[in-house]
Amino acid sequence: MPDRVTSQLDPFSPEFRADPYAAYEELRGLGKVVYLEKHDIWCVHHYDTCQQVLTDYETFSNAGGGGIKNYFKEKPWRKPSIILEVDPPEHTRTRTVLSRALSPRVLRQIRDRFEVDAARMVAEAGAKGEIEGVSELTRPYPLKVFPDSVGLADADRDNLLIYGTMVFGAFGPTVPWYEEYMETHKDVPEWIIARCQRDALAEGGIGQMIYAAADEGKITEEEAMMLVRTFLSAGVDTTVDSIGLCLRALAEHPDQYAKLREDPSLARNAFEEATRYDSSSQSIFRTTLTECEVAGQKIGANEKVMCFLGSASRDGAHFEDPDAFDITRKIKGQIGYGVGIHGCVGQMFARLEAECFFQAFAQQIESVEVTGPTELRMHPGLRGLTKLPLKLTPKAA
Ligand code: OVV
């Protein structure tokens, strides 16, 4: 008996990324645990095994890095995140501080501003009619509302997008364009760190709430800076990409968009379904601390395991008719944000951002059509669109 199932599939190749769902189906057919020979990593791609790996944090460590690089063997490109790239007990304290800053009470206070900004930006896009949806709508909206909430000044916010590419590009193998990109934008990480300092953050924002936790002695001043860095690392591109993909899914499924338009209160569930169907975070890595077993397959210590959230979300053993985009689906066990102690700490924030956006969109826009080829972001850490040509028809006044 062979000791493992292997595949030549390369999740970082343009072909794989152009249609990951076909590749996921192939992987799910091959077996529960597959060894990807091109990168010398293991992967899991079913709902149950992703769940198992992501919840067993004592075996599958985050301290080895969230991407393909093994921090136990290779030096990270920046100081590791003090929430994503650590294990308990260190993780528990920082997670608590971030959770509080993103609590339901805080979100309730932010909602009105999201609604106002969403309504204005959708109205402007609707008035133009023909737009490039990413640069004119699905990117500017998160790039305004999220940094506003953190308390960031207006100037040079495009640097957040550059930094996002640096952060998520580092999740994949080192490629020439990435090294060039890092060189071209080498001043950006410093700019980010300067924005994370206490005196750079507006009163009343969630950035200052992190510093308040430092004042209470729950974290150090340096840790506060690092947790604000987490906001600026993980809070922008993720929502840009997931809102963009959700809008494309709606435009490509007019029957589903009609339901949303008739009942804009479906906005939150529509985004929930898009997070399952086609979303920004397709995969996340763990590193084994000990020899272990997943679905009968032995995995050695100090190995990288790639968890395909995007494939788990299409697993027919958990989701009925998994390839259908159905905005009224009752999703039980969303895995698109990850699960367990490292499940996305900002997920309620992301949902709120998207809910306000798609609600405003449904209230104002009669129909939405994709009018030309869409383009995918090619860096491997996130799935997202860089081009989404759209024709918007506003509702009659
Ligand atoms: C989930 C995530 C992605 C990227 C960066 C970070 C977290 C961070 O904590 O910096």
pLDDT in tens, 272-319: 999 999 999 999 999 999 999 999 999 999 999 999 999 999 999 999
CB within 8 Å of 187: residues ≥ 6 apart: none
b/e per residue 295-330 (b: at least 16 CB within 10 A): eebebeeebbbbbbbbbbbbbeebbeebeebbbebe
Cα 118 off chain centre by: 20
DSSP H stretches of helix in the chain: 14-18, 20-30, 47-55, 90-101, 104-128, 133, 140-150, 158-169, 176-184, 188-195, 206-215, 221-234, 237-252, 254-262, 267-277, 309-312, 347-364
Q: For residues 250 and 260, is the Cβ–Cβ distance under 8 A? A: yes
Distance 173 CA to ligand 1 centre (A): 17
**Ligand 1 atom having least distance to the Cα of 84:** 9
Of 72, 47, 50, nearest to 61 by C-alpha is: 72
Flag whether the pTM goes above 0.85.
yes
Is the beta carbon of 84 within 6 A of some atom in ligand 1?
A: yes
CB within 8 Å of 72: residues ≥ 6 apart: 63, 64, 287, 302
Q: For residues 385 and 259, is the Cβ–Cβ distance under 8 A? A: no
Is the beta carbon of 167 within 6 A of some atom in ligand 1?
A: yes
**Ligand 1 atom having least distance to the Cα of 238:** 3
- Which among 62, 68, 82, 84 is the best mutation to test ligand 1's pocket, defined by most ligand atoms within 8 Å of the CB? 84
Please report, for the chain, the start and end positions of each structural domain, with discontinuous segments joined by +. 6-394
pLDDT the model gives residue 31: 98
Distance 284 CA to ligand 1 centre (A): 11
CB within 8 Å of 120: residues ≥ 6 apart: none
- Which among 62, 78, 82, 83 is the best mutation to test ligand 1's pocket, defined by most ligand atoms within 8 Å of the CB? 83
Q: What is the DSSP letter of 136?
A: I
Q: For residues 389 and 132, is the Cβ–Cβ distance under 8 A? A: yes
Is the beta carbon of 238 within 6 A of some atom in ligand 1?
A: no
Specify the residue for token string 């100037």. 155
Is the beta carbon of 388 within 6 A of some atom in ligand 1?
A: no
- Which among 62, 68, 69, 81 is the best mutation to test ligand 1's pocket, defined by most ligand atoms within 8 Å of the CB? 81
C-alpha dihedral sign at 334, 362, 128, 18: positive
Is the beta carbon of 292 within 6 A of some atom in ligand 1?
A: no
pLDDT the model gives residue 397: 77
Is the beta carbon of 27 within 6 A of some atom in ligand 1?
A: no
- Which among 87, 166, 167, 192 is the best mutation to test ligand 1's pocket, defined by most ligand atoms within 8 Å of the CB? 167
**Ligand 1 atom having least distance to the Cα of 229:** 10
pLDDT the model gives residue 206: 97
Q: What is the DSSP track for 53-79? A: HHH-TTTEESTT-SSSS-TTTS--SSS
Distance 63 CA to ligand 1 centre (A): 12
pLDDT the model gives residue 1: 53
Crossing angle (nearest 10°) for helices 158-169 and 237-252: 90
- Taking the C-alpha atoms of residue 235 and residue 252, their distance in angstroms, rounded to an integer, is 26
Does 6-394 carry CATH code 1.10.510.10? no
Segment holding 393, helix H or strand E: strand 389-394
pLDDT tens series, the chain, 397 aa = 569 999 999 999 999 999 999 999 999 999 999 999 999 999 999 999 999 999 999 999 999 999 999 999 999 999 999 999 999 999 999 999 999 999 999 999 999 999 999 999 999 999 999 999 999 999 999 999 999 999 999 999 999 999 999 999 999 998 999 999 999 999 999 999 999 999 999 999 999 999 999 999 999 999 999 999 999 999 999 999 999 999 999 999 999 999 999 999 999 999 999 999 999 999 999 999 999 999 999 999 999 999 999 999 999 999 999 999 999 999 999 999 999 999 999 999 999 999 999 999 999 999 999 999 999 998 889 999 999 999 999 999 7
Q: Nearest residue CA, atom 3 of ligand 1?
A: 234
Is the beta carbon of 62 within 6 A of some atom in ligand 1?
A: no
- Taking the C-alpha atoms of residue 297 and residue 285, their distance in angstroms, rounded to an integer, is 18
